[in-house]
Amino acid sequence: MKTPTKCEKCPSNSSGIFCELSSLEHEDVDKHKVINKYKKGQTLFVQGNHPFGIFCISTGNIKVTKVGADGKESIVRLCHGGDIIGHRSLFTEEHYTATATAIEDSEVCFIDKNFILKMINEKPSVSLSIINKLSTDMGKAESKLSSLHQKNVRERLAELLLVLSRSHGKVQADGRTKIDLKLTREEMATMIGTANETLIRFISEFKDEKLIEQEGKTIIINNEEKLTEWANLPY
């Protein structure tokens, strides 16, 4: 049986909210967390449910989705190792406004509300880390909203690929960047606010122009400079 991952040995500890704690403090967190393993497609929490704590991602990738008034689902965030989810609803004492689902096998730690509030009161570094993550989330949401209103589909797709390259990219020996995340075409379409058929058409255009390649469902970026130009972003 595999030994549960301790906070201090967590592969995502350096980017997590507990990164500046001492060994003894990490041990205290270990005593108050529950380690859960999620298979692809399993949900961590559901829109409308009451929050009881926060989720810290150790490994894997989680999508956060919302269902609008029209019944359509859209991806609002992609989270990976070191990210926390469920924190906004917890601190505002609201029900979850979104659903979190594993898009690949993931290991996630759950920490109950009372303990995390205690840590926030006692450890300024934890408070600052959470504030930083909330601020980063807000900045990304504002950028996404601006992009949806001001850019066409081709520009939005180019920007999405660049964002995924920075968050999940692995530089290959030949200098190209492999996006180490498998999203369905439907998931990508919801992220840029377009129809699946439109997304497929533009992906084909990007491949024809040699900006990207595909290996199965994995996308490889060949020309980041040109992609940046197509995204209408500053270099």
Q: Among the residues of 67-123, which ranges form H helices?
A: 87-92, 113-122
User: What is d(CA 60, CA 81) in angstroms, rounded to the nearest whole number?
Assistant: 6
User: What is d(CA 191, CA 181) in angstroms, rounded to the nearest whole number?
Assistant: 14
Residue 228 DSSP label? H
CATH number for the domain spanning 114: value is 2.60.120.10
- Is the same domain home to 51 and 155? no
Position 22 scores a pLDDT of 83
Closest CA to 183 of 196, 171, 202: 196
**Residue 2 lies inside a defined structural domain of this protein:** no
Residues whose CB falls within 8 Å of the CB of residue 50, separated by 6 or more in sequence, listed in order: 95, 96
Position 199 scores a pLDDT of 94
- Is the same domain home to 47 and 125? yes
DSSP, residue by residue, 155-207: HHHHHHHHHHHHHHEEE-TTS-EEE-----HHHHHHHHT--HHHHHHHHHHHH
**Residue 1 lies inside a defined structural domain of this protein:** no
Residue 123's SS3 state is coil
The pLDDT profile of the chain, 235 residues, written as one tens digit per residue, is: 344 567 878 878 777 888 778 888 888 888 889 999 999 999 999 999 999 999 999 999 999 999 877 778 888 889 999 899 988 888 888 899 899 999 999 999 999 999 988 988 888 888 888 888 878 777 777 777 667 678 899 999 999 999 999 889 999 999 999 999 888 999 999 999 899 999 999 999 999 999 999 988 899 999 999 999 998 876 5
Domain count, the chain: 2
CA angle 87, 89, 90 (to 5 degrees): 60
**Residue 212 lies inside a defined structural domain of this protein:** yes
Which of 128, 148, 168 is the last residue in one of the domains? 148
Position 120 scores a pLDDT of 86
Long-range contacts of 27-30, Cβ-Cβ distance < 8 Å, separation of 24 or more: 29/111, 29/119, 30/6
Domain that holds residue 82: 7-148
- Is the same domain home to 41 and 133? yes
**Residue 235 lies inside a defined structural domain of this protein:** no
- Is the same domain home to 105 and 25? yes
- Is the same domain home to 190 and 201? yes
**Residue 57 lies inside a defined structural domain of this protein:** yes
